[in-house]
Amino acid sequence: MPSLVQELSGDRDLGGLRILLNCPFKATVLREGPAQVSGPGAAWLAYLCPVHTVDLDGWPGATDHADSGTMPCGTVLDFRSGEERLQSHADLWLTRLTGIDPAAYGGVWSDVLHHADRVLRARIAEAESAGGEASPLRSMLPSIASARRSAARGEFGVAATGLGCCETLAQYL
Structural domain range at position 67 = 4-78
Q: If you average pLDDT over residues 99-105, what whole number do you get?
A: 96
Are residue 70 and residue 132 in the same domain, yes or no? Answer: no
- The pLDDT assigned to 21 comes to 85
pLDDT of residue 140: 93
Quick one: 98 and 159 in the same domain?
yes
Q: Quick check: 2 pLDDT over 80?
A: no
Please write the tens of the pLDDT for every residue from 24-33.
Answer: 999 999 998 8
pLDDT of residue 61: 76
pTM exceeds 0.85, yes or no? yes
Domain match, 137 and 61 both: no
The verdict on 112 and 162 lying in the same domain is: yes
134-170: b (≥16 Cβ within 10 Å) or e: ebebeebeebbbbbbbbbeeeebeebbbbbbbbbbbb
Q: How many CA atoms lie within 13 A of 32 on its CB side?
A: 17
Q: Is the pLDDT of residue 171 over 90?
A: no
How many domains, the chain?
A: 2
- Residue 51 and residue 89 share a domain: no
- Note the pLDDT of residue 156: 97
Same domain, residue pair 109 and 49: no
The reply to whether 134 and 97 lie within a common domain is: yes
pLDDT at 24: 93
Do residues 36 and 60 share a domain?
A: yes
Residues 39 and 117 occupy one common structural domain: no
Please name which of 70, 107, 85 lies closest in space to residue 16, comparing C-alpha atoms.
85
- The pLDDT of residue 133: 67
CB within 8 Å of 40: residues ≥ 6 apart: 10, 11, 12
Q: Out of 78, 106, 140, pick the residue that ends a domain.
A: 78
Last residue of a domain, one of 53, 78, 103: 78
104, 89: one domain: yes
Mean pLDDT of the chain: 88
My answer on whether 61 and 92 are in the same domain is no
Return the percentage of the chain with pLDDT > 90, whole number. 53
Q: Looking at 78, 105, 129, which one is the last position of a domain?
A: 78
Tell me: do 93 and 137 sit in the same domain: yes
pLDDT of residue 25: 93
The mean pLDDT of 110-120, rounded to a whole number, is: 96
Supply the pLDDT for residue 9. 85
Q: What is the pLDDT averaged over residues 130-151?
A: 87
